[in-house]
Structure 1
Amino acid sequence: MITAAIIITFFGFFFCYSTSKRAVYQNSIKLQAYLKDSYTKGNTLGVALLIVGLIVSIAALGWGAGIFSYLVILMTLGSLIVILTPLRFFSKYTLVAVSILSFIIELSIS
């Protein structure tokens, strides 16, 4: 459940980052080009995903711990996206591999 909150928050922040005018734009990801062109759709979807990530975090951990962990997740992912996106670190395969590995680790621990 925490992995789902992290992935949803990642995509929400990435969508909002991609619609920013100050973001470094590169053609490596087609989704980023689409989001850059349609500002309102991308920003609305990004904010909606951020809210859904918060709700999932609260549902998994409770009110206090959910909000606190969501803020930590948001700060961590936000800094990683801002630092690593201009370096073209994120690709479809990297995101899928990290997500699957994270789900496997989460399910094996619990």
Structure 2
Amino acid sequence: MVTLNLILIWLSFYLFYLTSKKAQIARSLPIEKWMHNHAPIAKVIGTVLLFLSLSVSISLWGVGSGSLFFFIILMTLGSLVTIISPLRVLNYVSISAISILSFVLEIILP
């Protein structure tokens, strides 16, 4: 469940990143270009995902700890997105592999 929450936070912040006019969308997937061109829809989807991940955090750890976890992870992943995305260091294959490995380890090691 933590991995799902991290993916939701990353995806929501990445949607907000794609709506920026300064974002470099030169070599990307068609869905990224579409989200960049349709910024209001991407912002609504990003907001819904942020509130969903906040509610998941609160349901897992309570109001205080869940909110703190959410905002710390939001700041961390937001910094990583703004630093690493323009460099094109990570692609969707590596992010998917890291997410699957994290999910498997979360299930195996409770």
Pick the TM interval, shorter chain. Answer: over 0.9
Structure 2 partner of 1:5? 5
- Equivalenced residue count is 110
Q: How does 1:20-59 map to 2 (within 5 A)?
A: 20-59=20-59
Deviations 1:57-107 (A, max 9, x none): 111111111000001110010000000000112322112101101101111
| Contact map agreement 1:9 1:53 (CA 8 A) in 2 | yes
Structure 1 partner of 2:109? 109
Length-normalised TM-score, structure 1: 0.93
Q: Which residues of structure 1 form unaligned runs of 5+?
A: none
1:25 maps to a residue whose letter is I
- List 4+ stretches of structure 1 deviating above 6 A: none
| Contact map agreement 1:27 1:33 (CA 8 A) in 2 | no
Over aligned residue pairs, what C-alpha RMSD do you find?
Answer: 1.1
Structure 2 partner of 1:19? 19
Length-normalised TM-score, structure 2: 0.93
* Deviation of 1:25 (Å): 2.9
Distance, in Å, in 2 between the alignment partners of 1:41 and 1:9 is 17
